[in-house]
Each structure stands twice: as structure tokens, then as C-alpha cells.
Chains A and B, each alone.
Chain A
Amino acid sequence: MKRSNIVKLAALVIYIVFLVVSFLLDYSPGEEIARNFTSFSLDMLKIIPGAFILIGLFDVWVKRETVEKHLGDVSGIMGYVWAILLAGATVGGLYVAFPVAYSMYSKGARLNVIFTYIGAAAVCRIPMTIFEASFLGITFSVIRLAVSLILVIISAILLGNYLKKKDYKISDGSR
């Protein structure tokens, strides 16, 4: 086992022991931390398994050539359009977008498109934006969306081009 993993495991054990002891002694900060942990875990359980099943299906059914054509080096501007549409339909948050991004990458999507997808998944998920507009007004949402999306695309192109020269690779999540 790697040293960093041993440290993580030790921290996790201390964390669990702390929570258990907190419950035994009615120590309220510990109890609240435990409640935070379970409520966020449950929220994510509503999304994560489904998301990974779709990722698995994507992997076996979608041909590499299809991804290369629409999101790869030859995709042109349409690659960005697809990335943004896909991002708009992403549910959950960035923790779902990262594994999806890896799947796209492993099938031959280019870095510029992937970073556009990640950024767009942060700023323009459709249900979130509608919700935002209902509380802060449509004007606010439209300006926020337009400015952030333009800057996301520009930064994705700069970052993608820079990393391409550096022979950069996205990992499968095991590092």
C-alpha cells in the first residue's frame, strides 16, 4: 500500500472512531458532522450509481469513431456545442462531470472540448439555471450565464492547447 493511502486510512479510522464516541457521549458537534456525512452520502447515492451505469453503457455502445468525429480533433466548433449541450443535461455536480469527462477522453475527445464540458457542467446545468432565475431574476441569470460560458470556452481552449503540447493525460481516477 502507498504511504499516502495509509495516512488516508488512518485518518478515516480516527474520523469514524470520533463519530462513534460522539454518539456514545452525546457530543453534539460530532453528531452534527455525522448527520452531514450521511445526508450528503444519501444525496449522492441518488445520482452516482445511475451515472456510472450510464458511463458503462456509453463505454460499450458508443463507437470510438463517433466520439472522435463529434468531440475529437476534427470536430471543429460543433465539438464545443455538443460539450455545452451535454453539460446542460448533466445532473448532480462536478463530481459527476469528472468521470464523464474521463469516458469522453478515453474514447478520443480532445482536451479543449473536455475542459469546455467541465466548465459548462459547472455553470450551465439547465435545472440549476432555471432555479437560479426564479430567485435572482432572469437578467441576472442571462448575464451570469453568458459571461461565464464565454470565459469557460476561452479558458478551455487555452488550457487544452497548452496541455496538448505537454503530452498531458487524464487518468482513470485511480491515481
Chain B
Amino acid sequence: MYVIAGLALLASFIANRGKTLKALKIAAKRFANILPAFLVMLVLISIVLFLIPDEMISRYLGTSNKSVGVLLAAILGSITLMPGFVAFPLSGILLQKGVAYTVIATFTTTLMMVGVLTYPIEKAYFGAKVTILRNAVGLLIALCVAVVIGIFFGEIF
């Protein structure tokens, strides 16, 4: 990221100094605007990840009942936040333990689409109403994905 941004900045600086300075000012202003929301998000993340550690997630998703598994997966996927390089290896382990594809699809897709922890940032740009609406739609989409995955892998019907 720094390499790309640095090269772009350099090219821009060579092409037009004034414009580049203006770009940096815009960057700083936009960042300052959203910084409070970022701090709120980081505080929330630090607390939620303490309350819900990875071991707890793998324990809950490993429940034998599939409907309960999907429900828990949807809740955990929505309220936690984890980078892909943690989420997918974890999912791989769960799969080997015999957790259903349906449950894993619910977990990974809600993780991607529903962000309770990114709410402060999303709200700052999109407003509370649209943020809630978009996340609710994301949850529905995740459940649709889980159902299709479940049918395809022969876990449903």
C-alpha cells in the first residue's frame, strides 16, 4: 500500500506540485473527519475480541445441531471482526473437525458483509438508517449464500 501510494504521490509531485499539495491536504482533512469514528471502532474491537476469543468461536460453531450452528455463526460473524488470514485457516480447521459447510458459509459471509464493529465508521458516511438497512440486507444475503452452499454440498434436503 505504501509503495503504491508513494509512487503515485511521486508521479503526481513531478507532474504538478500545487495539485499534489492540495491532494495531501484533502487526504489529511478526510482522515481527520473520520478519525473519531475510527477510534471508537478500535476501542470496540479491542473489547469485543477480548470477550469473544477465537477458541470460543470454534467451540460454539462446533455444536452438532446445524440450525443452532447457523444461528451462532450468524451472530458471531456479525459482531466480530477478523482479517481473512485468521478467519479462513480457522474455518479450514473447523471443516476438518466436521463442521458443516452451511455453518462455515454463514460465519465467513457475515464476517465479510455484516459489520457491527464498523458501525461507527459506516454511520459517519451513510447515516444510521442506511447503515442498519445495509447490514440487515447483508445478513439476509449471508443466509441465502449459506442455504445455496448447504444444498450444493448435500447438507440440506
Contacts and interface: CB of A to CB of B under 8 A. Distances in A.
B71 interface: no
A170 to B, nearest CB: 6
A147 B138 CA distance: 12
Contacts of A55: 26-27, 30
Given A136-B92, A155-B141, A173-B30, A98 B121 contact: yes
B2 interface: yes
A113 interface: no
Please classify how large the interface on chain A is, using the bins under 10, 10 to 19, 20 to 34, 35 or more.
Answer: 35 or more
A54 B88 CA distance: 29
Contacts of B26: 55-56, 59-60
Interface string B115-157: 1001001111111001001100110011011001100110000
Given A143-B148, A171-B124, A36 B134 contact: no
B149 A140 contact: yes
Contact of B113 (A54, A119, A140): A119
A174 B95 contact: no
A159 B134 contact: yes
A115 B39 CA distance: 25
Given A47-B1, A143-B149, A171-B124, A41 B42 contact: yes
Contact of B8 (A15, A54, A122): A54
A170 B33 CA distance: 14
Contacts of A5: 36
B95 A94 contact: no
Interface of A: 5, 8, 11-12, 15, 29, 32-34, 36-37, 40-41, 43-44, 46-57, 59-61, 91, 93-95, 98-99, 101-103, 115, 118-119, 122-123, 127-128, 131-132, 134-136, 139-140, 143-144, 147-148, 151-152, 155, 159, 163, 168, 170-175
Contacts, number: 205
Contacts of A56: 22-28, 30
Contacts of B133: 159
A147 B45 CA distance: 29
A129 B96 CA distance: 20
B102 to A, nearest CB: 11
A44 B38 CA distance: 10
Contact of B95 (A136, A168, A173): A136
B124 A175 contact: yes
Given A98-B118, A147-B141, A159-B137, 18 more contacts: A12-B39, A48-B38, A52-B28, A53-B5, A56-B30, A94-B121, A103-B30, A127-B84, A131-B85, A135-B95, A136-B92, A144-B108, A147-B149, A148-B142, A151-B141, A170-B126, A173-B125, A175-B124
